[in-house]
Structure 1
Amino acid sequence: MDKITKPDQNDPLSFLKEFTAARIAIGATGSSIPTKQSLEFKLAHAHARDAVYSAMDIEGLEDALGQFHRPVLQLHSMADSRAQYLQRPDLGRKSNEESLNRLADQITGDDVVIIIADGLSAIAINENVLPLLQLLIPKLSAANLKIAPLCLVEQGRVAIGDNIAHELQSRLSIVLIGERPGLSSADSIGAYLTYQPKPGLKDNSRNCISNIRPGGLDFKSAADKIFYLVQESFRRKLSGVELKDNEGLLVG
């Protein structure tokens, strides 16, 4: 017989903590929350703020990406600083002139380009992008998909992938970006897939897989899901709202 967790007599909802890292069943002291939980909240908020202002480990990542035997391009958006990046989202969606020149020298017309951007949590990229790529890139290679140079982008937002992929003339882009940190997850990666990327596309043109991290969607499941969507995207020649994740569903 399975062991049944008995709820805390002071908080009958405490057993739910076994299933989520969300801030639930934190208790109460009078009309306020207990001191311990209040301090934990402040610490989580500090971690979230730190994640937003964290910096991508460009040199360390470039060295580590060498294991994939692909050229690595260091690129930058038009946002010169973190402050400008946060205040001007539009600048984070475009490559600066130096990056455009670098891309012009690398036109290969490959099937897939993988763009790694700091987004709103460089911590997520520094800690979690390599384990994900170690599972994803072999899948893409085994499917005989040609992979463009790997792109490391500082101060980048999701839409900068459209610009980069279009310059490289890649058929499909995968943007791996640090997601906006929450109070229980400052290290989540979001994966955005776009078929036939080009400047000016809207969010409904891409598919998103979010919460990729050890405490969320694990790396194997994320790599499997991304690869499935890549295959379906090439097969159906589209991405976005018209491309559904039907993997594992029973169809009659």
Structure 2
Amino acid sequence: MNPELIEKVTRLVVEKLQSQQTADVKQQKSSAGVKFWDHTSNPGKEPSKMSVGVIETEKQDTGGLIKIKSYQNTKDLKMTSSDKISHDKIESFSEKRGIDNPADPVELQALMSKTPARIGVGRAGLRPKTDTWLKFRFDHAAAVDAVYGDVNDELLNRLGLFKVNTMVNEKEVYIRRPDYGRKLSEEAKKHILTKCQKAPTVQIILSDGLSSSAIEENGEDVYLSLQQSLKSLGLDMGTPFYIEKGRVAVMDEVGELLKPKVVVLLIGERPGLLSAESLSAYLCYEPRKGTIEADRMVISNIHKGGIPPAEAGAYLGTVIQKVIKYEASGVSLVKKEG
């Protein structure tokens, strides 16, 4: 290749780069700052002056941080009538929810006030609106955390509860094998027999079940209220304890070991998208292995959006009193009552 041609091309490239650098320096000196334009401005129209932010590169604080000029203090930035309309539309857009222009807004509002379900949320094209979708994702994440979370040991210590395990060691196994959650480990049985009072009138058990959040949020209030209710009714209460990764039927094994008259199991229920912290109280008269579900009774939906925890605990005392009186629970109790 011709060396003279190479030298000539190289010289042209160098001169071009030098001229561009000189032009950039002049442009920086003549410019007071860097302007940022609103990317949502309509194409073909002049960008709104309200969407301009000026960075004052010449005025920096001692820390070397760039100061942003405030819109409110900028005299040359004024909002025109068209800018104000556009600004108001943006403000109202973030607050707009639900169905746009419903046929009967009064009836729709009445329906929405009667249920916490996701009705009347509206759509953006074929998809849910952004706020609806984000709320759904948040509730779904809360439900997952409730299932896979663990109850804080500090809460158990504060309530004076010792902890035992079922035959489940891992949460994945607990979810796939419900039967393992219905059986106590051999170590747990020995621990219960050593620490617990035998043949009490009422035996209280707490378990995370499918929602550790239910115990964290509501377990203490229900437990303390139930304790007070049993004390006022003069009912003997055994030694309460906590079963990790338990299922409802684990109360049958406790019944076999301690022989109480009534077993009360406060357990976290399967979380939903409306509440991830719902607690249920299962009761059974003299539960034993082979007890059928019809002999159990339950007070469910105990949380801040359902039955208040303290109220549920007080009510449980009266139900237990009735179970002891008729020596039955579940369907059998209903038949004996009337």
Q: Which structure has more helix as a fraction of its residues?
A: 2
Unaligned regions of 5+ residues in structure 2, if any? 1-97
Cα distance 1:10–1:242, how it changes in 2: closer, same or farther (>3 A)?
farther
Structure 1 partner of 2:118: 23
Task: Return the offset for 1:139.
Answer: 0.7
8 Å contact kept, 2:99–2:120: no
Bigger radius of gyration among the two? 2
SS in 2 for 1:242: helix
CA root-mean-square deviation = 2.2
Checking the alignment, whether the CA contact within 8 Å between 1:117 and 1:178 is kept in structure 2 is yes
CA deviations 1:220-248 (Å, max 9, x no partner) are 4312332222111111110012334xxxx
Which of structures 1 and 2 has the larger relative contact order (alpha carbons within 8 angstroms, sep 6+)?
A: 1
TM norm structure 2: 0.65
Partner of 1:73: 162
- Show the counterpart of 1:10: 101
Which residue identity does 2:204 align to in structure 1? I
Partner of 1:179: 269
Which has the higher mean CA deviation after the structures are superposed, 29-38 or 148-157?
Answer: 29-38
Instruction: Give the drift of 1:102.
Output: 1.1
Displacement after TM superposition at 1:150 (Å): 0.8
Matched-pair contact (CA < 8 Å) for 2:148–2:171: yes
Matched, 1:123 2:207: no
Map 1:70-149 onto structure 2 (within 5 A). Answer: 72-105=161-194, 106-149=196-239
Taking the aligned partners of 1:228 and 1:108, their CA distance within structure 2 comes to: 23
Match of residue 247 from structure 1 = none
Give the counterpart letter for 1:153 in structure 2: I
Instruction: Work out the CA distance in 1 between the residues paired with 2:129 and 2:146.
Output: 26
The number of aligned residues is 235
Taking the TM superposition and a 5 Å limit, the aligned residue runs for 1:47-58 are 47-57=142-152
Identity %: 36
* 1:167-246 to 2 correspondences below 5 Å: 167-244=257-334
* Deviation at residue 126 of structure 1 after TM alignment: 1.2
Supply the distance in 2 between the matched residues of 1:30 and 1:78 (Cα, whole angstroms).
Answer: 49
Q: Secondary structure at the match of 1:192?
A: strand
Deviations 1:27-73 (A, max 9, x none): 1233332122122112211111111101111x21222214xxxxx33
**Maintained 8 Å contact 2:202/2:236:** yes
Contact map agreement 1:188 1:212 (CA 8 A) in 2: yes
